[in-house]
């Protein structure tokens, strides 16, 4: 997760703004996945942060 958060900072992908009462808040969730080699051994743990836009 820390790698993903560092990429957000490095790419300047988002910023925090004050909360507004007239707009709904869109939540987020973390997606975890294990990358496997051809023998089924875990070679990397991947993580993504996605928005739950269906709450819009």
Query: Tokens representing 53?
Result: 């836009």
The three-class DSSP label of residue 3 is helix
Q: Say if residues 21 and 8 touch (Cβ distance below 8 Å).
A: no
Residue of 45, 23, 20 whose CA lies nearest to 34: 45
pLDDT in tens, 29-40: 888 899 999 998
SS3 55: helix
**Phi, psi (5° rounding) for residue 37?**
-85, -175
User: Residue 27: pLDDT above 60?
Assistant: yes
Mean pLDDT of the 9-14 span:
84
Burial of residue 49, with CB atoms counted within 10 A of its CB: 0-12 exposed, 13-18 middle, 19 or more buried: middle
What's the pTM value of the predicted model, to 2 decimals?
A: 0.55
């Amino acid at each position: 997760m820390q790698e993903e958060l560092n990429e957000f900072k490095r790419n300047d992908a988002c910023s925090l703004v004050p909360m507004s009462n007239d707009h709904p808040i869109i939540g987020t969730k973390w997606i975890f996945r294990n990358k496997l080699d051809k023998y089924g051994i875990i070679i990397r743990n991947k993580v993504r942060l996605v928005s739950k836009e269906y709450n819009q």
